[in-house]
Amino acid sequence: MTVRPLLSLLALSLLVAGCDHNLNKMRENRFTPYQSAPLPTVSPSAMVTSLKAANSGGFTAESLENLNTLLRVQGRLSRQTLSLQPYTPSGEQLAQRLASVLRELGAPGEQVVVMPVRLEAPESQEWDLQVVSEALVVKTPDCSVADADVWTVKPYQSVGPMGCANRSNIARMVSDPSDLVRPRTLDAGDGIAAVNAVTRYYDDEVRELLDIDFQED
């Protein structure tokens, strides 16, 4: 290929790139104004639910539904701090059973606290146990379609903020909500540490392991 065809090809590519930029600007101006996708927010949340003991020895159906709703809304169980406050002897027994179940389901033992029973007059007590959940909760924006009837005419205005669903899905997948508000080191997932270990192996510079012998003391 000669120099002239090369120059012509380069000029053509620059022209196409310039046209593409102008077309994108025209499309953007055509559909403006449109809102940018809102960001998810992370904030501390404390919720409480009151549970009533049933005659069968467990909780009533309504109490179980309220408890499951509370635990689901507060995010991952491993990220919640749960305080169980019994008010009756039945509530004290149920608190111990509930604490064991929560630990089996993934709640760290130190984050499930059973408080001392606070006995009150039976006629003034409407429930047997209160559960308080404290956690950092991710609040995602509403990404529903704004107006489904005109999406073929005004796509940006009818669908809603572009990128909203993508940001919302990413926020829902994080294991630790605080990762969305502060950086964190890679630790074991750091690729540089793994590369250095393999390099030392191939260069025959493997580090010696510690050999502690308590019998010499």
- b (16+ CB within 10 A) / e for 190-204: eeeeeeeeeeeeeee
Q: Where are the domains of the chain?
A: 43-138
The Cα–Cα gap between 216 and 82 comes to 48
Question: In the CATH hierarchy, which fold is given to the domain comprising 43-138?
Answer: 60s Ribosomal Protein L30; Chain: A; (3.30.1330)
Mean of pLDDT values over 175-199: 78
Lowest mean pLDDT among 19-28, 85-94, 157-166: 19-28
- pLDDT-derived band at 24, boundaries 50, 70, 90: low
Write the pLDDT tens digit of every residue in 112-150.
999 999 876 555 678 899 999 999 988 888 887 777 787
41-63 tens-digit pLDDT: 888 999 999 999 998 888 999 99
Q: What pLDDT score was predicted for residue 14?
A: 52
Mean pLDDT, the chain, rounded, equals: 79
